[in-house]
Amino acid sequence: MAREKSTPHEINQLVWNVLRSRGYEKAVREQMVVQSWSEIVGDRIAREAKAVGVENGAVFVHVPNAAWRNELTFLKADLLKKIRDFIGKPVVQDIIFTCRSEDRQGDT
């Protein structure tokens, strides 16, 4: 008996259906944002801004200084659209930019 081969699209759908049924879809999509950050935002931004995690619908992004934080704050709406377009679902509603220098001040 010959068996039909599954297409990559069918396998992809099967995997997402299993993740969804087990309650992991949102967590996987959130992790995709972090793992694919440079592909989503482009090399120029990714060199300076590092996505470090997603919590409660917000991506946390470390930037080197206040100038980068201000610049990316102006681009936030465009970046959120890029994330939604890439991920295919609205799992992220906000981006929180933090300066690495501010993070270190709390360590003293």
pLDDT of 84: 95
Spell out, as residue ranges, where the chain has pLDDT lower than 50. Answer: 104-108
pLDDT at residue 26, as a whole number: 77
Order of all β-strands in the sheet with 50-55 = 50-55, 58-63, 94-99
Reported residue count of the chain is 108
Burial of 36 (0-12, 13-18, 19+ CB in 10 A): middle
Q: Domain count of the chain? A: 1
Structural domain boundaries, residue 92 = 8-105
- Pure H helices in 4-107: 8-22, 25-35, 37-41, 43-48, 66-74, 76-87, 100-105
Asked, for residue 3, whether it belongs to a domain, the answer is no
- CATH number of 55's domain: 3.30.300.180
| 2 part of a folded domain | no
Residue 31: predicted pLDDT: 86
